[in-house]
């Protein structure tokens, strides 16, 4: 959420113009829907999914439906479109996390797509005792807002400094929350530059990056993303291990590239 500087750049225009490939990712998701139901199942713990900037719960329905088929109790955020961010919206999200925890009596995994991933990480920093793990999808988690193509629109709507930022929160986005944290992103992202989604060494030992071939808009339906999500969610609580890239995975899932 930090203001942009001259050092960061949004994605190349070529990748932005080719975001329409998300249609093919959705088509692949639909064709593979039955095989995807055979992905590893976990212990059914609650999973909250937060949408990206300008999006709402409808965008996360395919992902949540699949996770429900894998046995998880999923939750949308039920807060309309993700447009404005102020103290009221922050309190609504904090109450949502607290409410799910109290309703299920279990720690939550929070999955956040794009800006939703920023919220997932920062909410967890505030209440880490309620959260089991965090997974972000193409999220601008650096301290430089300039990595995100819609940053200027965000600032037009919300101002250069939001109220939560002025109160000292949402200022260290590059620091991972103190729970197992996975950043899934693509080098061909046309909305958020991949450089802004990398978790760097020094956060804590339970952080990782998973790079997939995808578009930004397609991250929520990309079959490879679903494979990674199912793998991460199925880990027993307290037994986190890094994502394995052995066998066929080594050809499709990459380590985070160097800057």
pLDDT at 247: 92
Tell me which residue of 202, 252, 218, 29 sits closest to 138, measured CA to CA: 218
pLDDT at 4: 46
Please report whether residue 5 resides in a domain. Answer: no
pLDDT at 111: 98
Q: Residue for token digits 């490879």?
A: 224
pLDDT at 258: 61
The total number of structural domains that make up the chain: 1
Sign of the Cα pseudo-torsion (141, 144, 150, 156, in order) = positive
Q: What is the pLDDT along the chain (259 residues), one digit of tens a residue?
A: 555 444 789 999 999 999 999 999 999 999 999 999 999 999 999 999 999 999 999 999 999 999 999 999 999 999 999 999 999 999 999 999 999 999 999 999 999 999 999 999 999 999 999 999 999 999 999 988 899 999 999 999 999 999 999 988 998 999 999 999 999 999 999 999 999 999 986 667 899 999 999 999 999 999 999 999 999 999 999 999 999 999 999 999 988 776 5
pLDDT at 5: 47
- Report the CATH number that the domain containing residue 153 is assigned in CATH: 3.40.50.1820
Please report whether residue 4 resides in a domain. Answer: no
pLDDT at 203: 65
Please report whether residue 96 resides in a domain. Answer: yes
Tell me which residue of 63, 1, 25, 13 sits closest to 193, measured CA to CA: 13
Q: 226: Cβ–Cβ under 8 A, 6 or more apart, which residues?
A: 29, 36, 39, 63, 66
Please report whether residue 1 resides in a domain. Answer: no
pLDDT at 143: 87
Please report whether residue 7 resides in a domain. Answer: no
Domain that holds residue 90: 13-237+248-252
DSSP string across 40-103: PP----EEEEE--TT--GGGGHHHHHHHHHTT-EEE---S-SS---SHHHHHHHHHHHHHHHHH
pLDDT at 205: 86
Please report whether residue 154 resides in a domain. Answer: yes
Please report whether residue 45 resides in a domain. Answer: yes
Please report whether residue 243 resides in a domain. Answer: no
Q: Measured in whole angstroms, how far is the alpha carbon of residue 196 from the centre of its chain?
A: 13
pLDDT at 11: 95
Furthest CA-CA distance within the chain: 48
């Amino acid at each position: 959420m930090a203001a942009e500087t001259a050092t960061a750049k949004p994605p190349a225009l070529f990748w932005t113009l080719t975001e329409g490939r998300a249609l093919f990712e959705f088509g692949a998701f639909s064709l593979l829907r039955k095989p995807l139901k055979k992905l590893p199942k976990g212990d059914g713990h609650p999973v909250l999914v937060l949408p990206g900037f300008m999006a709402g719960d409808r965008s996360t329905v395919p992902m949540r439906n699949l996770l429900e088929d894998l046995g998880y109790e999923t939750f949308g955020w039920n807060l309309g479109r993700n447009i404005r961010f102020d103290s009221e919206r922050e309190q609504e999200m904090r109450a949502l996390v607290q409410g799910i925890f109290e309703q299920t009596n279990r720690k939550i995994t929070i999955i956040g797509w794009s800006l939703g991933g920023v919220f997932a990480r920062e909410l967890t920093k505030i209440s880490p005792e309620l959260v089991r793990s965090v997974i972000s999808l193409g999220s601008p988690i650096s301290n430089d807002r300039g990595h995100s193509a819609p940053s200027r629109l965000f600032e037009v709507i919300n101002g250069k400094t939001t109220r939560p930022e002025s109160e000292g929160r949402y200022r260290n986005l590059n620091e991972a929350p103190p729970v197992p944290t996975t950043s899934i992103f693509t080098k061909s992202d046309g909305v958020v530059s991949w450089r802004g989604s990398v978790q760097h060494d020094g956060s804590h030992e339970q952080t990782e990056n998973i790079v997939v071939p995808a578009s930004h808009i397609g991250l929520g339906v990309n079959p490879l993303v679903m494979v990674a999500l199912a793998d991460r969610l199925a880990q027993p609580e307290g037994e986190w291990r890094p994502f394995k890239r052995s066998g066929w995975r080594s050809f499709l899932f990459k380590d985070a590239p160097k800057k």
